[in-house]
Amino acid sequence: MWHLFLLQRPSQIRGKMGNSRSGLQHKFTSQFLPEEQAEVDRLFNVLSAEEASPRAPLRTFSLKALKRHVGKALPPEMVTRLYAGMKALDLSDKTQRPSDGITQEQFTVSMSHLLKGSSEEKSLVILKMISATEEPVKAGQVQKFAEDLVSALVHVLHYRQELRGWAGKKVPGAKPRIQVLAAQLLSEVKLQGKRWPAGSDSGSQETCSLTCAVSPSLDGKKLAGPPRQDCDCDRAVIEDWVFRAPHVATFLSVVIRRGFSLLPSSLNLSTLVPERQVAQGREFDSLLDVPSLIYINSHLPAERRHRWRLLFASELHGHSFAQLLGHIVHQGPCVTLLEDRDGHVFGGFASRSWEVKPQFQGDNRCFLFSIMPRMAVFTHTGYNNHFMYLNHGQQTIPNGLGMGGQHNYFGLWIDVDFGKGHSKAKPMCTTYSSPQLSAKEDFQFEKMEVWAVGDTEESQLAKTGKSILDVDPEAQALLEISGRTRHSQGLREAPAE
């Protein structure tokens, strides 16, 4: 019987068990572990303590009590949305339900849905957080919710001092970055079977994305399509969105757990916000802010998300290609980003150490990305293996750093004449299916950064028991040419092939 209950839709649960408060609460709270349930109960007792009345049929808490408990940890707009989502859940007999306040049942089920539930269960609460009406919500309302969610995430991480070294000066245009990440979340909203107003493409039935309504293209022009801010988004659309965009659920979980101080020990933020490592006395204003950092970090291999270590910054190390080479070669996987003179911010992830050689290198884990004017990640197409290229001192082939495409037509190119580059990707880069990332095909830039991600190569070697000479044949060859002896040879086991 229990497994049948879990397979039922929430609407069926409400219809069959709306009058059985204790039974319903028990089944929903079973999604929490016992220690988690105790924490949920404790929080409800705190919230409802000041408004408890012996004459009231059920204990409840008000929006005022919730705001008082949260304090400045969350923006008031997000606290109001969370309260509205919890209050709108109709789980008990209306004749017994108090006119104001959230019951323990509503609170428990809401937390269960948002923190432990499926995309279907999460959408039940999220839809009411967007709008308390019974009508389908508008696309513009979903956009505002996404912006409030990203803003609340950044706010609570800063308030709880959990930015792990990234809480420096604010990047100019921080609010637009929040809007840009919200627009990226909205790009996963799919409106199916929507009939567009007269004047659009003959008013035919079509499937579309809200990206057209909220996000400019990378060349600064609006994407084609009619205005879609007033499109309807029903329950099925929101459920599909939550499924397609896992960041929505992740951000909500952080906002609730850190904002309410609920179940903090069960939330690991190390892979959401990586540790920032910069040499002492070498702090600077990075091109990255919290929204863009979280977005790019989420696309790295899982084992690379916990730490970012600065290798090169033009602001610190100068505008020199030789300096760039000296700081990034043989340093392991890293993220490169730069800002052109028109304000476009973009870059790429190199999945392997950069090496100076005339051949392409890397593998299919590499990708290109854009941060401004919109956030997007572009992965390999399988068309070719031109993932990474770094060359210097050659006369017959290009000298510089490139990713994707081909010689003289890279998806991203940094010329040996430092400060110049190109992104020749019309209509798209063959390797990564990326568009032109810069404002102009041939661009100039002032700021460039390279960050090593994950553990250092030395620590990785220590874990495997290998020597640097085992993984770098060139270093071994140079040692032998110089006539020096490999003192460790014969004193350790040969590495497995």
DSSP secondary structure string, 8-74?
A: S-HHHHHHHHTT-HHHHHHHHHTTS-HHHHHHHHHHHHHHHHTT--TT-SS-EE-HHHHHHHHTTSS
Q: What is the C-alpha to C-alpha distance for residues 399 and 416, in angstroms, rounded to an integer? A: 6
Higher pLDDT, 260 or 18: 260
pLDDT in the model for residue 263: 77
Token code pair at residue 397: 């082939």
pTM > 0.75: yes or no: yes
**458 pLDDT higher than 90:** no
Q: Which of 125, 135, 114, 109 is nearest to 27 (CA)?
A: 109
DSSP secondary structure letter of residue 218: T
pLDDT at residue 54 in the model: 59
Instruction: Say what the pLDDT of residue 55 is.
Output: 61
Residue pLDDT, tens place only, 370-382: 999 999 999 999 9
The alpha carbons of the chain give a radius of gyration, in whole angstroms, of: 27
Mean pLDDT of 239-259: 96
Average pLDDT (106-121) is 94
Element (H, E) at 475: helix 473-481
**Structure confidence at residue 465 (pLDDT):** 52
Task: Give 29 or 165, the one with higher predicted confidence.
Answer: 165
- Render pLDDT for 287-299 as a digit per residue (tens, 0 to 9): 999 999 999 999 9
Give the contacts of 68 (CB within 8 A, at least 6 positions apart).
none
Cα separation, 164 vs 195, in Å, equals 47
The two tokens of residue 134 are 């019974």
The C-alpha atoms of residue 313 and residue 390 are separated, in whole angstroms, by 18
Provide the pLDDT for residue 428: 93
Residue 218 pLDDT > 60 = no
Evaluate if residue 353 carries a pLDDT over 60: yes
Q: Check pLDDT > 50 for residue 225.
A: no
Average predicted confidence (pLDDT) for the chain: 81
pLDDT over threshold 90, residue 325: yes
Residues 6+ apart with CB under 8 A from 477: none
Residue 243 has pLDDT above 50, yes or no: yes
Between 159 and 90, where is the model more confident? 159
Contact criterion met (CB below 8 Å) for 391 and 397: yes
The C-alpha atoms of residue 152 and residue 162 are separated, in whole angstroms, by 14
- Better-predicted residue by pLDDT, 432 or 174: 432
For 70-97, b/e burial (b = at least 16 CB within 10 A) is beebbbeebbbbbbbbbbbbebbeeeeb
- What integer pLDDT is reported at residue 470 of this predicted model? 54
Please state, in angstroms and as integers, the Cα–Cα distance from residue 467 to each residue in 137, 356, 426, 461, following that order.
59, 21, 44, 7
Give how far the C-alpha of residue 38 lies from the chain's centroid of Cα atoms, to the nearest Å: 31
Question: Are residues 84 and 132 in contact, defined by beta-carbon separation less than 8 angstroms?
Answer: yes
Q: Which residue has the higher pLDDT, 219 or 307?
A: 307
Q: Give residue limits of the domains in the chain.
A: 2-195+205-256, 296-453
The dihedral built from the CA positions of residue 461, 466, 472 and 476, taken in this order, carries a sign that is: positive
Lowest mean pLDDT among 117-121, 172-176, 471-475: 471-475
DSSP letters for 97-113? S-SSSEEHHHHHHHHHH
**pLDDT given at position 24:** 44
Say how far apart CA 220 and CA 199 lie, in whole Å: 24
Q: What is the mean pLDDT of residues 110-125?
A: 94
The pLDDT, as a whole number, for residue 456 is: 81
User: Taking residues 395-414, what's their average pLDDT?
Assistant: 95
